[in-house]
Amino acid sequence: MFRLSKKLQSLPPYLFVEIDRAKRKARAQGEDIIDLGIGDPDQPTPAHIVEALYKAAQDPACHRYALDQGMLSLREAISKWYKVRFGVDLNPETEILPLIGSKEGIAHFPLAFLDCGDYSLVPDPCYPPYKGGSILAGGKPYLMPLLQANAFLPDLKKIPPGIRRKAKLMYINYPNNPTGATAEKDFYKETLDFAVKNKIIVISDLAYSEMSYDGYRPCSFMEIPGAKESAVEFHSLSKTYNMTGWRIGWACGSSDLIDALGRVKSNIDSGIFCALQLAGISALETPQEQVRNMCQLYQERRDALITGLTSLGWQVKPPKATFYVWIKIPAKSNSIEFSKLLLEKTNIVVTPGLGFGKYGEGYIRMALTVPTQRIREAVQRLRQKI
Ligand SMILES: Cc1ncc(COP(=O)(O)O)c(C=O)c1O
């Protein structure tokens, strides 16, 4: 009866419907599901952050509308954190914008810069809002394949001149969801040169900067001289502090880009609950030991999964960062069929690669969000049933 907008109609299909349905059915039947599908930490938010929210929520000053651009004290805490972590200076007044989770900003950003028919350069496979946000803003995603042969980095030389001319935005995301790939400064330098030459804004998604292993420390796009003038970087408290449900993150970078995103947002939301912003400050001031412990936990799980899958003859590389393991399907099957087979035969939930884009076909993603013991059990089930 209602005619959907062309934009909504052209969003990529949600490919997890059947798997979601099968998962719910199996759960309802009392099956023992091992869910490696969702990128949502299983550990609780550290107690002192919960305590900070509890305390702040009792202050009536927190009950009113927040400022659109976030509390200055939060922006100062972000600026300090950034300086310590990456050695980058950010002006808390003009170069930082708190968000209701980084997804919100990532998806709204194209509204500030895309006109009908403009392109945004989007990696494929990717976190889905890069495509969705671009399409909802009237733009067209141009897919940059992330191929194993190129270490899951986009090959910028392959982007045709006609597309370069019409592209306004370019998304990059390292450490990467879903492939677990990482990028180094030489790739960032090449990307910045490309972006400046073609007048394209770089959107760096750094949601997984703190989740890394074996002593590896991801860098920020903002560390590249000149990046701050032509790029914006998105961060999240979700994964670093087990706060996915809280909804808090930020954008930082060029003051013009931050200002434009702020103008879009001021027409859409009215800021983040102040008590939550105060809890966010407490998170950023968390002794980083807690973050290191989190990494150690995921590293133990990663090692158990990689050792187990390798012993089954599966092709897997241990990721240096993120809590995702990107796995080539060890059978003549496609990713949806293989994920369904795993659920039916072993009660293990994984995410089919195709859900992240067409270049994700041939892979599945497993998230390290269950205890090591359950990972070992999952490997055991695979050994017996697949
Ligand atoms: C690459 C990437 N960016 C951003 C996000 C969104 O995080 P937030 O909870 O801050 O919206 C996610 C969440 O899974 C993600 O995987």
Q: Which of 104, 109, 173, 205 to mutate to test the pocket of ligand 1 (most atoms within 8 A of CB)?
A: 205
The alpha carbon of 98 and the centre of ligand 1 are apart by a number of angstroms equal to 14
Quick one: which atom of ligand 1 is closest to the CA of 173? 1
* pLDDT value of position 15: 72
Q: What is the 3-state secondary structure (H, E, C) of the chain?
A: CCCCCHHHHCCCCCCCHHHHHHHHHHHHCCCCCEECCCCCCCCCCCHHHHHHHHHHHCCHHHHCCCCCCCCHHHHHHHHHHHHHHHCCCCCCCCCEEEECCHHHHHHHHHHHHCCCCCEEEEEECCCCHHHHHHHHCCCEEEEEECCHHHCCCCCHHHCCHHHHHHEEEEEECCCCCCCCCCCCHHHHHHHHHHHHHHCCEEEEECCCCCCECCCCCCCCHHHCCCHHHHEEEEEECCCCCCCCCCCCEEEEECHHHHHHHHHHHCCCCCCCCHHHHHHHHHHHCCCCHHHHHHHHHHHHHHHHHHHHHHHCCCCCCCCCECCEEEEECCCCCCHHHHHHHHHHHHCEECEEHHHHCHHHCCEEEEECCCCHHHHHHHHHHHHHHC
The alpha carbon of 101 and the centre of ligand 1 are apart by a number of angstroms equal to 8
What mean pLDDT is reported for the chain?
96
Structure tokens at 116: 């009908």
Longest dimension (CA), the chain: 60
The alpha carbon of 203 and the centre of ligand 1 are apart by a number of angstroms equal to 13
Residue with the bigger pLDDT between 23 and 150: it is 150
* pLDDT value of position 371: 98
Q: What is the mean pLDDT of residues 181-202?
A: 98
pLDDT-derived band at 5, boundaries 50, 70, 90: very high
Could you count the other beta carbons within 10 Å of the beta carbon of residue 44? 10
| 30-56 tens-digit pLDDT | 999 999 998 999 999 999 999 999 999
Q: What is the mean pLDDT of residues 145-161?
A: 98
Over the range 79-116, which residues count as b (16 or more CB within 10 Å of their CB) and which as e?
bebbeebbebebebeebbbbbbbbbbbbbbbbbbbbee
The alpha carbon of 212 and the centre of ligand 1 are apart by a number of angstroms equal to 16
Closest Cα partner for 130 from 107, 99, 109, 100?
Answer: 107
* pLDDT value of position 326: 98
| 327-351 tens-digit pLDDT | 999 878 999 999 999 999 999 999 9
Q: What is the mean pLDDT of residues 308-321?
A: 95
Q: Which residues have CB under 6 Å of ligand 1?
A: 39, 101-103, 127, 173, 177, 205, 207, 236, 238, 244, 249
Judge whether residue 17 has pLDDT over 80.
no
Q: What is the mean pLDDT of residues 241-263?
A: 98
The alpha carbon of 234 and the centre of ligand 1 are apart by a number of angstroms equal to 9
Could you count the other beta carbons within 10 Å of the beta carbon of residue 48? 14
Q: What is the mean pLDDT of residues 229-254?
A: 97
pLDDT-derived band at 355, boundaries 50, 70, 90: very high
* pLDDT value of position 203: 98
pLDDT-derived band at 67, boundaries 50, 70, 90: confident
Dihedral angle sign, alpha carbons of residues 93, 99, 102, 103: negative
Distance CA 130, CA 122 (A): 7
